[in-house]
Amino acid sequence: MKNFLLITSIILISRISVIAQVEVELFEDQINHTINKNIYGHFAEHLGRCIYDGFYVGEDNTTIPHKNGVRLDVIEALRDLEIPVLRWPGGCFADTYHWKDGVGPKNKRPTIVNQWWGGVVEDNSFGTHDFLNMCEVLGAEPYLAANVGSGTVKELADWVQYVNHDGISPMAKWRKENGRDKPWNVKYWGVGNEMWGCGGNMTPEYYANLYKQYATFMVDWSNSAGLYRIASGASDNDYHWTEIMMRDIPKHLIEAIALHSYAVIDWNDKGSATAFNESQYFTTMERALNMETLVTKHSAIMDKYDPEKEIALFVDEWGGWYNVEEGTNPGFLYQQNTMRDAMIAGTTLNIFNNHADRVKMANLAQTINVLQAVLLTKEEKLVLTPTYHVMNMYKVHQDAKLIPVSLNNNTSYEMGGKSLPAVSVSASLNDKGEVHISLVNIHVTKSVKVDLLLTDLKAKSITGQILSSDHLQDHNTFDNPSKISQVSFSSFKKRKEKLEVSIPQASVIVLKIK
């Protein structure tokens, strides 16, 4: 007999006085895939105050506690978040970055003009050793994005040898001279970034040929090093790009293909991060929920050429993108983080979880002080954003077994003649036998009454956490850093095999059943 959970939700839909029913079945007898922990990855670009003044405050800083220049409060927060992988140094910056400028004595490193982000001059004081050593401290796998747009094949091949070679070689010798004896054994390598845009404005056919050249010289023919070579993938719904990558690149030269998609209201006017109305919120969520369509359609193209699903899909840039905060550098992309961002994070992560058969990594853009950041810093202060708390709640899904879900008759969140599903859900089973169910209600005004039927699930104990606030525009500030945080959730009643749950409007809930 199949195990399943049945969620029945009866609410009055906003603007339509109709009773709607939501049913969600969880099929424990159909578990086939693991939710790769790297779906909960992050992205750190040399952009604005993400690296400098975010992660890195310098080794000579005497006012902010640090380890080798990396803020200790950042280390603590990200270790608590259990971040599995961190992508660096870009982004668009990657295809202007020459890694050899960032190694060796810091007082001898050349400067660089960050032509993409604000035109600021950087001193290359944060380079390969700093990043890879920091990843070791964080317990995160590094993901290096290589320079294809303005670099060379030899430059990338040398970088692979520098960080990974454990024998006698010119680059290994140089690494040891620079203070690192053993290699870092970096697994994940992006072969360029956004080659359709800031990486070189290339056609997919041209880039596919260029990719093959770079990938060939990264490792030997058998790829005995076990590298994950990641092709620069499509933007949003450019399905032709994915088609060409899958058609033209042989399987022995590629392990993953990327996808970038942001929840943007309008690229010409992205709107305020905090002073937005419900219509703007609705449009943002429409864009965020479109990730389901994007992942489904790109995966279908990949299935044509790779039915065994040997090539992974990495959504290595995603998140909300708004206008910068007033008075900040437009090139620094600094924005606040509200409950709207929590809705984006919760629904998007549910989508990735449910596509665990193909999606093996995702990298939120970006970690600190840029776009949909999980951390904000100001001098000695640090703020955990609502997005941080969602990812902290969801970390229970990392490397757990995906429980397939079937959601029928989802109630609608409607506006302007458009309709969005109000409820989002994913579920997993960990190696302790615990089931975790993550639920999101994106509706602004209506709570959801849920009947959770525990038919074949032996629920000895049930606990929960919730993230919510009075207004979607609410956010944490340096003066009030704890306005929004995850708290215990107990708005449920157990009645035999049924659990009655109330999900407030605009909230994220994670239940643990064991």
Fill in the DSSP letter of residue 110. P
Q: What single-letter amino acid sits at 392?
A: N
Same-domain pairing of 478 and 392:
no
- Same domain (yes/no): 309, 204: yes
Distances in whole angstroms, Cα of residue 156 to Cα of each of 85, 148, 163, 391, 414: 20, 8, 11, 33, 50
Any alpha helices (H) in 272-330, and if so which ranges? 278-289, 291-305
Within this chain, do residues 278 and 364 fall inside the same structural domain, yes or no?
yes
Cis peptide before 89 (omega within 30 of 0): yes
State the average pLDDT over residues 424-446. 94
| Among 56-70, 404-418, 446-460, 474-488, the least confident range | 446-460
- Of 25, 45, 292, 317, the catalytic one is 317
Phi, psi of 115 (to 5 degrees): -70, -20
In whole angstroms, give the CA distance from residue 262 to residue 331.
17
Residue 160 CB burial class (10 angstroms; 0-12, 13-18, ≥19) = buried
pLDDT of residue 17: 27
- Which pair of tokens denotes residue 296? 């489904």
By the 8 A CB rule, do 315 and 361 touch? yes
Same domain, 245 and 336: yes
Question: Mean pLDDT score of the chain, rounded to an integer?
Answer: 92
Active-site entry in 25, 122, 141, 194:
194
Same domain? For 436 and 376 the reply is no
Query: What's 473's domain CATH number?
Result: 2.60.40.1180
What are 3-22's pLDDT values in tens digits?
Answer: 444 433 333 333 332 224 56
One domain for residues 440 and 365: no
**Does 25 have pLDDT greater than 50?**
yes
Q: Is a pLDDT exceeding 90 seen at residue 381? A: yes
Is 417 domain-assigned?
no
pLDDT tens-place string over residues 256-290: 999 999 999 999 999 999 999 999 999 999 999 99
In this prediction, residue 224 has a pLDDT band, given cuts at 50, 70 and 90, of low
> pLDDT tens-digit profile of 33-53?
999 999 999 999 999 999 999
Tell me: do 344 and 436 sit in the same domain: no
Asked whether residue 506 is domain-assigned, the answer is: yes
Q: How far apart are CA 422 and CA 7, in angstroms?
A: 14
Active-site residue, 325 included? no
Question: Does 317 participate in catalysis according to the annotation?
Answer: yes
pLDDT at 181 > cutoff 50? yes
Whether omega for the bond prior to residue 366 falls within 30 degrees of 0, making it cis, is yes
Alpha-carbon distance of 73 to 378, in angstroms, equals 12
User: What are the beta bridge partners of residue 121?
Assistant: 113
Residues 117 and 263 in one domain: yes
Query: Does any domain span residue 410?
Result: no
Q: Please compute the mean of the pLDDT values over residues 156-182 and round it to a whole number.
A: 96
Q: Are 34 and 401 in contact (CB under 8 A)?
A: yes
Question: Three-state SS across 382-434?
Answer: EEECHHHHHHHHHHHHCCCEECCEEEECCCEEEECCEEEECEEEEEEECCCCC
Quick one: 358 and 339 in the same domain?
Answer: yes
Domain CATH for 347: 3.20.20.80
Domain range for 477 is 6-32+422-513
- Both 259 and 370 in one domain: the answer is yes
Distance of CA 85 to the CA centre of its chain: 10
pLDDT of residue 384: 98
For residue 477, the one-letter residue type is T
What is the pLDDT confidence band of residue 501, given thresholds at 50, 70 and 90? confident
**Same-domain check for residues 45 and 25:** no
pLDDT of residue 451: 72
Long-range (24+ apart) CB contacts under 8 A made by 280-284 are 281/340, 281/444, 281/472, 282/413, 282/415, 282/416, 282/418, 282/420, 284/320, 284/340, 284/344
Q: 229-243, 355-369, 451-465: which has the minimum mean pLDDT?
A: 451-465
Total number of domains constituting the chain: 2
Q: What confidence score (pLDDT) does residue 408 get?
A: 76
